[in-house]
Amino acid sequence: MTQKSKRHKKSQVWIHQHINDPWVQRAQAEGWRARAAFKLMEIDEKARLLKPGMAVVDLGAAPGSWCQYAAKRIQPGGRLIALDLLEMDGLPGVEFIQGDFREDEVLARLVASLGGRPIDLVLSDMAPNMSGIAATDQARVMYLTELALEFARAHLKPGGDMLVKVFQGAGFMQLRDEAMQLFETVQVKKPAASRDRSAETYLLGRKKRG
């Protein structure tokens, strides 16, 4: 079998599994933009992460299922600002900024949108386009997680929290240690909606050190 044929077969298997995934079916039935909403929902219900009046930044927000859930949980009085390189259809209670959050212009728009409010919570469900090459994909995921941690280090208020996607594998322990230096407590979360075969997990950092 050629490499192209193998990729095609893998793609066909993924599509079949995705269509028949009960979380995907539930998301479609309930009006969520993606099954990822249930990951945030479960973690929030157990950790009481989202509260009314919070200022929240969602990195890599598209297509917006985390925003859908979080925007409701932080009202009344909350602000949710979503950032992504990709376009995202509008959502009630969500301000979307398209661009790279590492760029000064995008950060300036974020600061202006916050209007002086400190950031209480950083969310990041960012993931790269997967190549199918494990070592490459792991490195790409870790890079995005590092970027999210750097953002939190620079912009999250002391005492604030962060929830970030990471893959278990090469570099995971070092990245967890880095998060433990930034937050008073760091927990590893694997919500039920994360596929069992996936290395995907989440780091929940509580109370950023001052």
The architecture (CATH level 2) of 33-208 comes to 3-Layer(aba) Sandwich (3.40)
Nearby residues of 150 by Cβ (< 8 Å), 6 or more positions away: none
| Confidence category of residue 12, pLDDT binned at 50, 70, 90 | low
Angstrom distance (rounded) from CA 154 to CA 161: 13
Average per-residue pLDDT for the chain:
90
The reply to whether 190 belongs to the active site is no
Angstrom distance (rounded) from CA 79 to CA 70: 10
Sequence spans of domains, the chain: 1-31, 33-208
What average pLDDT does range 47-60 have in this prediction?
97
The pTM assigned to this predicted structure is: 0.88
* pLDDT value at residue 14: 41
| Confidence category of residue 13, pLDDT binned at 50, 70, 90 | very low
pLDDT at 195 over 80: no
Angstrom distance (rounded) from CA 66 to CA 151: 18
User: Exactly one of 10, 157, 165, 189 is catalytic; which is it?
Assistant: 165
Placement of tokens 């599994």 in the chain? 17
Tokens describing residue 208: 């950023």
What average pLDDT does range 102-126 have in this prediction?
95
The more confidently predicted of residues 174 and 1 is 174
What percent of the chain is helix, strand and coil (3-state, nearest 5)? 45, 25, 35
Q: Which is nearest to 178 in space by CA: 199, 201, 147, 157?
A: 147
Chain mean position to CA 80: 14
Percent of the chain residues topping a pLDDT of 90: 71
Angstrom distance (rounded) from CA 137 to CA 75: 37
What average pLDDT does range 160-170 have in this prediction?
94
- Cα radius of gyration rounded to whole Å, the chain: 17
* pLDDT value at residue 7: 54
Q: Binding site for S-adenosyl-L-methionine: which residues?
A: 64, 66, 84, 100, 125
Distance set, CA 47 to CA 112, 155, 204 (Å): 30, 22, 9
Q: Print the SS3 string covering 26-61.
A: HHHHHCCCCCCHHHHHHHHHHHCCCCCCCEEEEECC
pLDDT at 8 over 60: no
